[in-house]
Structure 1
Amino acid sequence: MAASRVASEAEAGLESVCPQDLGLFADTFPAESRYRFCGHELNIAQHHGSRLGVAAPVWEAALALCDYFEEHKLNFWGKKVLELGAGTGIVGILVSLLGGDVTITDLPIALKQIEENVHRNLPMERLARTKVCALSWGLDHMEFPSNFDFILGADIIYLKDTYPLLIRTLQHLCGPQSTIYLSSKMRQGHSTVLFFETLLPVHFTSKLVFRDESENINIYKVTQKSNI
């Protein structure tokens, strides 16, 4: 009975990750945007409206993370990569084009948009090495392995109720060889600063590696805590 109640509470928190009735957008309408990173042009569809809510658009934190990969020439070739809360999938798609074996995840409601963008942008050989699947934080994370080289998240830190679920998920996914990159708008009203400065350092080693003052975006590099 108690376990069932905990699961229900977790599911309620996860539903708020992709709110469907926040009124953030007008009636549903499709949009396309083009971006260029690392020599690749990306054509990203965004299905704005109440159905996808905050999962629909390309957020600035995702673009900042793509810029960071380009500037620092990160090597993803042959690496196992997982993206959390992908939304449009732009980050995972870029990493796939850079040679990563990528698993792009979000709640089930967002998968159709991600799949559309994956097929828009990846050649056949990269499609074969890119997966799109559902991952609900704190609920089905145990179905995924802990052998990823990189775990990525862009603008996924904005709902306080989901923070324990995300920490639990990262603890499972992050192995000794894993590097986590989290790019986030530092929204005071959403306790984003609390997550990065108080909660995350309890469980992981975290380092601020990029700061955009004008956009108020931070990128953190996160790894397992040393046992030494």
Structure 2
Amino acid sequence: MSGQSMGPSKLFIISIIIFIELLAPTLESKQETAINDTTMQNKYNSHATIDERDCIPISEEKGSSCHQVVLYQPVFPVLQQDERQFDIVGKKWIIRQQWDQIGLSAVIWEAAIALTEYLETQGPSLLTGRSVMELGAGTGLVGMVASSLGAQRVEITDKNIASARSNLKLNSENIQRNSVSVLELEWGVTDLCSFQAPYDVILAADVIYIEDTFPALLDTLWELSSNETLILLSCKRRYDRDDRFFELAEKTQQFKYEIIMRWTKSDNVTIYRLVKNFVDTK
């Protein structure tokens, strides 16, 4: 998961908001009640225990009505586990989670599991011999699975790559030797000239959640792809604003999109295929 640069104070506040949004299994509209940054910071500096009674109103966007997000205790144990294990493409994957040290990008979210399962159902024919980029990789699971399915070259990227590096080392026996690299890439900030674009396949899971980053994400996808690039985005829809990413893609006439899979194991997890609208000369 990546974003754009911002000050430490703003980053702290946004991190708390994202944490709450990503963990909320339900979203209920409530009364229009504002909460300021100071209140939120004081609340979480107290290190109070978060349980299902604990909720704070947060604004979906400037000028909009506020919502209350309710956190349910059963969600937390999965994220608090130091390791999670997955059986994918006939191999056992051990993913080290580092929420306490790194944050929300260092745990496994449903959209990543859904995308790996989709890749598994497609089999090696989808990726064999192809160059693959994973954006907002977090733990790096999706990119590593792509390598195990025969991708010739995989670049796993994110703003913070500590989790991906750790998990790549932990699962090195499952991937093709020397086929995977882990690189820093912050949308809208990193110079993309150093990357070996265009890629045959671009993969991303749960990267659509901060509306301010949508233009930078679309521009990054544009620069790293060609008309032939297969772009797969696995998304868990939590708010109406999530749809605005695809609306922006159409409005800017950068990409067309289609739904290729709805994950049956969880509500609102969908995999999209994006295709460039314009002919380019790459």
What per-residue deviation string (whole Å, max 9, x for no partner) do you get for residues 33-79 of structure 1? 11111212111100122x42210210000001011111222521121
Distance 1:185 1:130 in 2: 26
Normalising by structure 2, we get a TM-score of: 0.68
Deviations 1:128-169 (A, max 9, x none): 110001001012133323221000100000001111110111
Name 1:207's counterpart in structure 2.
258
- Classify 1:124/1:220 alpha carbon distance in 2 versus 1 (closer, same or farther; 3 Å): closer
Q: Which runs of 5+ in 2 are unaligned?
A: 21-46, 50-78
Q: Residue 3 of structure 1 aligns with which residue?
A: none
Equivalent residue for 2:163, pick from 94, 113, 117: 113
Report how many aligned residue pairs link the two structures. Answer: 214
Once residues 38 and 207 of structure 1 are traced to their aligned partners in structure 2, the CA distance between those partners, rounded to angstroms, is 26
**Separation of aligned partners in 1, 2:197 and 2:256:** 17
Match of 1:53 in 2: 103
Aligned equivalents of 2:205 and 2:127: distance in 1? 17
- Of 107, 114, 117, which residue of structure 2 is paired with 1:67? 117
1:61-210 alignment, distance < 5 Å:
61-73=111-123, 74-100=125-151, 101-108=153-160, 111-123=161-173, 126-140=176-190, 141-188=192-239, 191-196=241-246, 198-201=247-250, 202-210=253-261
Residue 63 of structure 1: SS of its match in structure 2? helix
Which residue, 2, 12, 17 being the options, matches 2:6? 12
Moved over 3 A (4+): 19-30
User: TM-score, normalized by length of structure 1?
Assistant: 0.83
Residues 90/124 of structure 1: CA separation in 2 closer, same or farther (3 Å cut)? closer
Q: Give the secondary structure class of the aligned counterpart of 1:12.
A: coil
Quick one: distance in 1 between partners of 2:218 and 2:175? 33
Letter in 1 for 2:248: L
Residue-by-residue CA offset, 1:66-118 (whole Å, 9 max, x unaligned): 1111122252112100000111111001111112110000013xx12111111
1:219 is aligned to 271
**RMSD over aligned Cα atoms:** 3.0
Q: Give % identity.
A: 32
1:4-38 residue CA offsets vs partner (Å, 9 max, x unmatched): xxxxx94229x959x65669498996611111112
Quick one: distance in 2 between partners of 1:69 and 1:144?
24
Asked whether the equivalents of residues 115 and 271 of structure 2 are also in contact (C-alpha less than 8 Å), the reply is yes
Which position in structure 1 is the counterpart of 2:90?
A: 39
* Partner SS, residue 78 of structure 1: coil
Larger Rg: 2
- Structure 1: 5+ residue runs without aligned partners? 1-8
Alpha-carbon offset, residue 125 of structure 1: 7.0
